[in-house]
Structure formats: C-alpha cells, structure tokens
A and B are shown apart, each in its own frame.
Chain A
C-alpha cells in the first residue's frame, strides 16, 4: 500500500543527489498537446521521454508542452531546443522514436534527420 509518507524518503534521497547538478544549460523537449496531438498519441510520447530521461539520469533535460503547433496531420509533434542550436521539429512521433531521439540527439548531439519535419515533407512530395 502506497502512502504519502514515502515522499519523505524520496525527498531525502533527492536532496542528497541533486548537488551533482552541473551548470550545463538545459535542453528543452516540447510536446504538442493540442486536441490533435493528444488524439494522435502525445501522452505516450511524453511519458516515453520521461522514462528515457529518468533511465539515463539526464537531470538537465526539461520536458514541457505547448498547444497545437499548426500541422495537425503530422502529430504527435515534438520540438527539441538545445542551447546554441537551431530548434529541431520531429513529427509523427512514437515511443520507439523517442528512444532513438534521446540517445542520438539529446545525449550524443546527432539530430535524427529521418524523423524531422524536413525529411517528412521531402518524402511527401
């Protein structure tokens, strides 16, 4: 049985470990959560980011949301903002794509070109 008392332990542990936080600038992952995004599967994509970031202990990555980005047919859409770099927009997202984006792009700095909006529009022509 879960109880709120467990939070005490989590708090203690986190306070002890949080000190390792570096001065690195945050990477921001923004998930489109308009009606279009949610209907297309934004929630599993968002939760996959959380899980992956947690697994890899990426303390400097922030996951947040925005409304409808305006290209509903390509939802779920995710934008990745890395300081000093251009924004990257990934489309038709799935939890599987999330794992690759976290390992290749967020951790290793290599944009996953084939999932970007640019690559998608190119194919579509």
Chain B
C-alpha cells in the first residue's frame, strides 16, 4: 500500500464483509507525542479469540480467515516498520476495532494520503453504510458523519455526483483547517 489512506480503505473492507452498518474512522495526529494513530471501529459480526490470534498471520489461511487475507498483516508491517504497532479489539456479535499507531518522525512512515478520496470511495460503493470520520490534530477536530449529510439531502441519494463532490471538498477543507494531513 502506497499510503495510510489506502490501508484505511482496505481495512474498512473487512468491516463491510462483516456486515457492519456503522463504521467509525478516526485519525489522530499527535505531534507532541510523535504519534499518528488511526482507528477503524465497526459494529459488524466481530471475531472470537481464536480468530483474532490467527488473523495477523498471513500464512495461516483457514477457510474462515481466507476472507480477511493480507490486509491486516500489511497494515501491521507498515506500522511496525515505522516504530509503531497495531492492536485489534473484537467481540463476537458486537464489532471490531483496529488501531494502528505510527511514529510520525520515522523515516519509513508512509504518508497519510488522500483521506477525502478514501471516504468518497467508501460512500460510493456502500452508500447504505454510515461512516463517521473524525480527524484530530493539535489545532482542532474535524468530523464528518454521513447521517448528518443524509438528513440534509433528504429525498436524494448520497451517491449523487454533486453530493460526492461536495463531500470530497468538505473533507479536504476540514483537514486543511485543522492543519492536518501530516507531512506527506
């Protein structure tokens, strides 16, 4: 994966496969502690202990884990390569949270990439899922909740080109306003 926004797009695919209806994506740039944390939480089907343990091993592909494949191992490798780690929290029937921490100043940290494009892609492909995107920096917080958008555009689809265009620009603008989008 070329950047972190593509990892996020990829990890959310797991949430979609797990029949999530709400996906929360959080990006937190903490320059003081030199950490960039991303977290993806869903209300999908979740995993049991056994599966959580297996999921990070790309070579352990039993039938149940085949669906998940390389996405998480790739994210783990990217985080660890830049002095970070990943953490997975999951409850069967409740949902899953995947958290990845990167060291901002590490030379091997991938760029954050275009989160606006990741969110727009996710909305287009799965308009029925609600996304809550939260981006935090030391200057402030930007939040986009597709439920708010849908309320405002009642009667038309969120996949209308003008709406998607607006969402992309709104996110780009929001991230810029809080000085986010670390350091590509």
Interface residues, chain A, CB within 8 Å of chain B? 1-2, 4, 6-8, 10-11, 13-15, 18, 31, 33-36, 38-39, 43, 46-47, 50, 53-54, 63-65, 67-68
Contacts and interface: CB of A to CB of B under 8 A. Distances in A.
B17 A67 contact: yes
A11 B9 contact: no
Contacts of A1: 173, 177
A33 to B, nearest CB: 6
Contacts of B148: 4
Interface stretch (B18-26, B80-88, B161-169): B161-169
A25 B160 CA distance: 17
Contact of A4 (B10, B149, B160): B149
Given A7-B153, A10-B163, A43 B117 contact: yes
Contacts of B162: 10, 13-14
Contacts of B121: 33, 43, 46-47
Interface of B: 1-2, 6, 9-10, 13, 17, 67, 69-71, 74, 117-118, 120-121, 124-126, 148-149, 152-156, 159-166, 169-170, 173-174, 177
Contact of A14 (B13, B71, B124, B156): B156
Contact of A50 (B13, B155, B161, B173): B161
A35 B10 CA distance: 6
Closest 7 CB pairs of A and B: A65-B125, A54-B161, A7-B152, A2-B173, A35-B71, A2-B170, A11-B153
Given A46-B121, A54-B161, A8 B74 contact: no
Q: Is chain A's interface secondary structure helix, strand, loop, or mixed overall?
A: helix
A57 B48 CA distance: 46
A10 B69 contact: no
10 contacts: A2-B174, A6-B166, A7-B163, A10-B163, A10-B166, A11-B154, A15-B155, A33-B9, A46-B121, A64-B124
